[in-house]
């Protein structure tokens, strides 16, 4: 072979090599650009336990390191921490009652003062009368046999709060389906915050969680929920602003079912101007979710500082949707712990969680005995 022939072969090999390299790089870039499919509304379901963000993220393996996720506080330690906060806001009531009951003579004026104290703490008329009646009987008639006023008051308050109610969150779905928790309540009660806080409790319990931002009427609420999700690596399904809340709820439930998640928490809008509208909306949200999986828990979020207003809201929501549990928020900012009893009586369902601050882990399971102990200081 002459020199020209050899040169031709070398150039030929070089060109083929170059073409191969260009082809490979092109394919890699093309693959990276391929969209994940689905709608632009929904963050694709990540396999349980992965740190997918709130919105569709590109799949590039060379992406910057995953964001640092929060490690939410476990239930046991938060209870210890929050008990003190509860005592801080409520112990005035307990101290007031104990001072009255410890008087040498329990005359009619004293009983009236006791009644006023209980009513001021939003206990409600019927529970107040019932408690006063029980205390009168035990302290006046049974006298010393009943025990000291503190023991008697503690026993009667615990009985009033009702330790027999089942306060566990129903988060287990049947037949391999996820548990579905619908969170309802008026705007401002702390609903979105509560959804975020519950997701942290579940993450601490190593449950895989999806959040549905079905409060599509307030863009800030959707962004707020997305931030809660991002902090613990929980995907948040969100829709267009002013879009159909039911469709977001449906997509969230679908993502949870398809992705094999343990629980889906759905935040809803709580506009109360019109009961029929609210009924239509929440009814529809529930119906479409149940095309995917049954709703296992409907939590009503109430602001403990709103007193009678809160009770009116509770009534309206319970007429619109089957409430199965109550979350009382802002109990840290109110001395009106009596609302726990009043709202349970009104709706016949237990307070399951209490909000005790603005921190991300300031939500605790409600425990009647710990609550009464905090009250008595
Ligand atoms: N002190 C205290 N503040 C709370 C508690 N729960 C919620 N908040 C605050 O209450 C305010 C309202 O909370 P959101 O979660 O935005 O209320 P929302 O009901 O979702 O209202 P929208 O977002 O408008 O739907 C926020 O500033 C929360 O930080 C609580 O238990 N204690």
Atom 5, ligand 1: which residue's CA is nearest? 330
- Residue 61: CB atoms within 10 Å: 6
| 269 annotated ligand-binding residue | yes
CB-ligand 1 contact for 73 (6 Å cutoff) = no
Per the prediction, the chain carries an average pLDDT of 82
ipTM of the complex: 0.93
| 331 annotated ligand-binding residue | yes
Asked which of 132-141, 260-269, 351-360 is least confident by mean pLDDT, the reply is 132-141
The predicted model gives 28-34 an average pLDDT of 29
User: Which of 88, 189, 192, 193 to probe ligand 1 with, by most ligand atoms within 8 A of CB?
Assistant: 193
Backbone phi, then psi, for 203, in 5-degree steps? -65, -40
Look at residue 172 and give its three-state secondary structure: strand
Look at residue 148 and give its three-state secondary structure: coil
Cα separation, 95 vs 90, whole angstroms: 9
CB-ligand 1 contact for 332 (6 Å cutoff) = yes
- Looking at residue 145, the DSSP 8-state letter turns out to be G
CB-ligand 1 contact for 196 (6 Å cutoff) = no
**Where does the pLDDT of residue 92 fall: very low under 50, low under 70, confident under 90, or very high at 90 and above?**
confident
| 70 annotated ligand-binding residue | no
Check residues 92 and 49 and name the one with the higher pLDDT: 92
pLDDT in tens, 168-198: 999 999 999 999 999 999 888 999 999 999 9
200 Cα distance to chain centroid: 9
Considering just the CA atoms, what is the radius of gyration of the chain in Å?
A: 28
Asked which of 9-13, 29-33, 73-77, 352-356 is least confident by mean pLDDT, the reply is 29-33
- Check pLDDT > 80 for residue 64: no
pLDDT for residue 178: 98
Cα separation, 225 vs 215, whole angstroms: 10
Question: Of 46-60, 76-90, 209-223, where does the model show the most confidence?
Answer: 209-223
Residue with tokens 């009503």, as numbered in its chain: 300
Cα separation, 16 vs 144, whole angstroms: 103
Cα separation, 184 vs 323, whole angstroms: 9
pLDDT in tens, 296-334: 999 999 999 998 888 988 998 998 899 999 999 999 887
Look at residue 272 and give its three-state secondary structure: coil
Backbone phi, then psi, for 265, in 5-degree steps? -110, 125
| 50 annotated ligand-binding residue | no
* Rounded distance from Cα 175 to ligand 1 centre (Å): 35
pLDDT in tens, 104-135: 888 999 999 999 999 999 999 999 999 999 99
Can you give the pTM of this predicted structure? 0.81
CB-ligand 1 contact for 334 (6 Å cutoff) = no
3-state SS of 29-80?
Answer: HHHHHCCCCCCCCCCCCCCCCCCCCCCCCCCCCCCCCCCCCCCCCCHHHHHH
């Amino acid at each position: 072979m002459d020199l020209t022939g050899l040169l031709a072969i070398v150039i030929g090999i070089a060109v083929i090599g170059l073409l191969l390299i260009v082809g490979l790089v092109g394919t890699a870039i093309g693959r990276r650009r391929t969209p994940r499919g689905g709608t632009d509304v929904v963050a694709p379901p990540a396999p349980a336990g992965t740190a997918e963000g709130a919105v569709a993220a590109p799949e590039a393996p060379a992406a910057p390191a995953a964001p640092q996720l929060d490690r939410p506080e476990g239930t046991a330690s938060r209870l210890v921490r929050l008990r003190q906060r509860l005592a801080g806001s409520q112990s005035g009531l307990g101290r007031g009652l104990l001072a009255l009951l410890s008087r040498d003579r329990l005359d009619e004026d004293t009983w009236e003062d006791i009644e006023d104290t209980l009513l001021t703490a939003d206990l409600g008329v019927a529970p107040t009368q019932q408690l006063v009646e029980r205390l009168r009987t035990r302290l006046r008639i049974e006298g010393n046999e009943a025990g000291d006023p503190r023991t008697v008051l503690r026993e009667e308050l615990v009985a009033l709060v009702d330790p027999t109610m089942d306060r566990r969150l129903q988060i287990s779905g049947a037949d391999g389906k996820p548990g579905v928790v619908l969170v309802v309540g008026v705007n401002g009660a702390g609903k979105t915050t509560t959804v975020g806080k519950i997701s942290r409790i579940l993450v601490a319990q190593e449950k895989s969680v999806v959040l549905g931002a079905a409060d599509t009427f307030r863009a800030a609420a959707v962004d707020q929920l997305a931030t809660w999700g991002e902090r613990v690596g929980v995907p948040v399904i969100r829709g267009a602003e002013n879009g159909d809340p039911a469709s977001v709820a449906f997509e969230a439930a679908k993502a949870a079912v398809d992705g094999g998640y343990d629980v889906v928490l759905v935040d809803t809008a709580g506009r109360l101007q019109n009961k029929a509208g609210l009924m239509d909306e929440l009814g529809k949200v529930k119906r479409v979710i149940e095309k995917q999986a049954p709703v296992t828990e409907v939590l009503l979020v109430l602001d403990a500082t709103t007193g009678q207003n809160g009770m009116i809201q509770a009534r309206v929501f319970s007429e619109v949707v089957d409430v199965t549990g109550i979350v009382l928020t802002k109990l840290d900012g109110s001395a009106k712990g009596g609302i726990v009893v009043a709202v349970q009586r009104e709706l016949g369902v237990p307070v399951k969680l209490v909000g005790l601050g603005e921190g991300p882990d300031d939500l605790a399971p409600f425990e009647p005995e710990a609550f009464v102990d905090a009250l008595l200081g």
